[in-house]
Amino acid sequence: MQKNTLYTILISIIILGILSYFVLRTTKSNTVEYIAITPIATHSNGMEFIDSSTCVDCHQKIVEEHYKTAHFNSFQPVNKNTIKGSFQKGENTLILNKDVTFHFVEKDSAFYQEPIFNNQNTPFYSAKMDIAVGSGTKGQSYLMWNNNHLLQLQASYFTPTDSWINSPGAPDQLAPARPVLERCLECHTTFVQNISGNKKGNQFHKKNIVYGIDCQRCHGPVQDHVKYHKQHPKDKTAKHIIQYSSLSRQQRLDACALCHSGLRTETTERAFSYMIGDTLKKFSFPDYDESSLEELDVHGNQYGLLKASKCFTKSNALDCITCHDPHKKERGNFLSFNQKCMNCHASLKKTVQCSGDKNNIEKMNNNCIQCHMPLVKSKTMKIQIPKGDEISVDVRTHLIGIYNKEDQH
Ligand code: HEC
Ligand code: HEC
Ligand code: HEC
Ligand code: HEC
Ligand code: HEC
Ligand code: HEC
Ligand code: HEC
């Protein structure tokens, strides 16, 4: 009898031990499972944006490279690092016309543009430059907050001349600041929320903004992805995220064409409503005749031009990512770009190898790009300079083809 009691007690202790082990284990992992992520903004569709610094833990290299790209720097609050125009004496003025001169002034770490009539001592107005649009590769334009109204200021910065300019398209008289519509912001930043909901409105929520073209602009919602991978650090297969490799060629092209196919007219949908994986033509259509190459400007329409190239029409895989690493600042890295041409051309039949003059090609260091994707002057991104001349930015055409046959053969 005594032996039996002892036996029961012993068994009970063992069972209790096993039970409490499991109970404790689940409670413990429950506390680990709670992962706090503080959203930095909320999309009108409910999606919450998180700071891209959250991605550093697992994608450090991509994040660091991304911060250097033109994409990320395309829309940023103005500070001494982001503003490209000069505030040095001798470089901080712009003569608008014979009566008015703009002065560019730095006061308490803030930056202002101030037009002064030549017969007066005080500025006509002093406008704070709050946001810089453009990484400064070709130029920069400045926006100002007036309460919740967002306005584009008259003076801009132009990289080819490294100077302040009157914005392209602005009159050569002092003009009122232009209202900025959500469509302008859609191509330059990740998210901005329109207050009135009216496409023509220029009032935005100052706090509900995600600056620059960030991870979530191209990858969509990521919260569940981050939570899952923090909970399962050993799982090295991407979960809860749209995979580019699972998209069709058109879906992949659309992800870039959203902003790289020139001006578009929106159909029923609102700005910022297209999401990765969607079909772009359901949201907007081009503002130009797609079949007329004459109408495509090299500035901002890489998609339209590429689509008309033989490399594109005669292959079934070529898209923007064939040549571009979307996370890297690659400007000027011709070695890497040329490698992309050769990778594909080497796999084609012999007749599509370069038939240009061997000596010339060697002289150009085998730089395929220089001859087949030459720099072309933009029809829209240009300014008038005093002597009546025009200066326009040079843009790499994406109509890959044979140019200047005579001088290169
Ligand atoms: C706790 C770790 C972790 C964090 C934090 C994290 N990821 Fe990931 N992510 C992974 C893992 C693991 C993979 C799969 C391996 C890989 O592709 O690197 C992955 C893959 C991806 C992929 C590739 C999907 C594909 O096409 O295969 C994208 C895009 C991505 N993550 C975006 C993000 C973004 C954006 C953030 C920040 C908002 C982020 N991740 C934060 C772990 C993480
Ligand atoms: C939300 C709009 C948007 C999307 C989506 C977008 N881009 Fe851009 N892209 C821009 C803007 C705006 C610039 C100009 C940035 C600047 O210099 O201020 C730019 C610049 C670039 C540049 C020039 C970079 C440089 O160093 O000057 C390349 C290359 C590029 N984009 C490729 C792509 C590819 C490839 C995709 C698709 C994977 C893509 N973009 C998707 C808006 C976008
Ligand atoms: C349809 C998309 C789209 C819209 C709308 C758009 N942009 Fe752009 N913008 C681009 C792209 C793409 C580039 C750079 C690529 C290129 O030069 O081909 C660019 C370049 C620029 C640049 C030069 C950037 C640099 O660093 O070189 C400035 C400045 C600029 N845009 C300002 C604006 C302003 C201001 C608005 C609104 C009033 C606007 N853009 C509307 C797509 C757009
Ligand atoms: C301009 C659009 C764009 C932006 C911005 C962007 N990505 Fe990507 N990302 C892509 C595309 C396109 C691919 C697919 C590339 C491929 O298939 O070669 C990709 C692939 C990835 C992958 C998987 C492949 C790899 O290279 O490891 C990860 C991880 C990733 N992105 C993370 C990020 C993070 C983190 C950020 C922000 C810091 C970010 N991306 C910003 C377009 C973008
Ligand atoms: C994904 C494959 C692929 C890539 C990448 C590629 N091409 Fe092509 N390219 C083709 C194909 C296919 C043709 C058409 C061959 C034919 O006529 O059958 C072609 C045609 C051409 C032609 C002849 C065009 C004409 O109008 O007659 C030139 C020039 C050319 N490519 C140069 C380049 C250069 C330069 C690059 C890099 C910037 C490049 N290609 C990248 C596949 C590619
Ligand atoms: C066959 C290779 C190839 C393909 C495909 C390609 N690009 Fe490019 N892209 C280039 C090269 C080369 C440059 C010039 C880079 C430089 O100047 O350093 C360039 C430059 C650019 C620029 C900057 C233009 C400028 O002169 O400022 C943008 C924007 C761009 N590409 C977007 C795109 C988009 C969007 C797609 C897809 C529709 C695309 N590219 C497809 C090779 C390619
Ligand atoms: C010095 C300028 C120059 C350079 C550099 C150059 N090409 Fe060419 N390429 C030409 C000319 C000119 C032609 C047209 C020759 C003819 O048909 O008269 C041509 C023709 C071609 C064709 C069409 C061939 C055909 O039969 O239709 C392809 C493809 C091509 N080049 C690819 C390349 C690639 C890839 C590179 C880089 C490795 C390159 N080219 C570098 C000038 C150049």
User: Residues 214, 55: contact at Cβ < 8 Å?
Assistant: no
Cα 324 to averaged position of ligand 6 atoms, centre (Å): 7
219 lines ligand 2 (CB under 6 A): no
Of the candidate ranges 189-198, 307-316, 396-405, the one whose mean pLDDT is the lowest: 396-405
Residue 401 within any structural domain of the chain? no
Residue 241 within any structural domain of the chain? no
Residue 21 within any structural domain of the chain? no
Residue 156 within any structural domain of the chain? yes
CA distance 293 to 303: 12
227 pLDDT higher than 60: yes
User: Residues 184, 193: contact at Cβ < 8 Å?
Assistant: no
Residue 187 within any structural domain of the chain? yes
* Total tally of structural domains belonging to the chain: 1
Torsion of CA 235, 49, 284, 189, to 10 degrees: -110
Digit-coded pLDDT (tens) for 33-51: 566 788 999 998 999 999 9
Confidence of residue 65 (pLDDT cuts 50, 70, 90): very high
Confidence of residue 325 (pLDDT cuts 50, 70, 90): very high
Residue 120 within any structural domain of the chain? yes
Cα within 13 Å of Cα(303), Cβ side = 20
Torsion-angle region of 272 (φ positive above 0: left; ψ -120 to 50: alpha; else: beta): left
Digit-coded pLDDT (tens) for 148-174: 999 999 999 999 899 999 998 889 899
Helix ranges, 179-301 (H): 182-188, 215-219, 223-231, 249-260
Residue 164 within any structural domain of the chain? yes
Q: Which ligand is nearest to the CA of 361?
A: 7
Of the candidates 81, 37, 77, 113, the one whose C-alpha atom is nearest the C-alpha of residue 207 is 77
371 lines ligand 6 (CB under 6 A): no
CA distance 267 to 52: 31
222 pLDDT higher than 70: yes
Residue 320 within any structural domain of the chain? no
Digit-coded pLDDT (tens) for 260-269: 998 888 776 6
Cα 326 to averaged position of ligand 4 atoms, centre (Å): 6
pTM for the model stands at: 0.93
Structural domain containing residue 110: 72-212
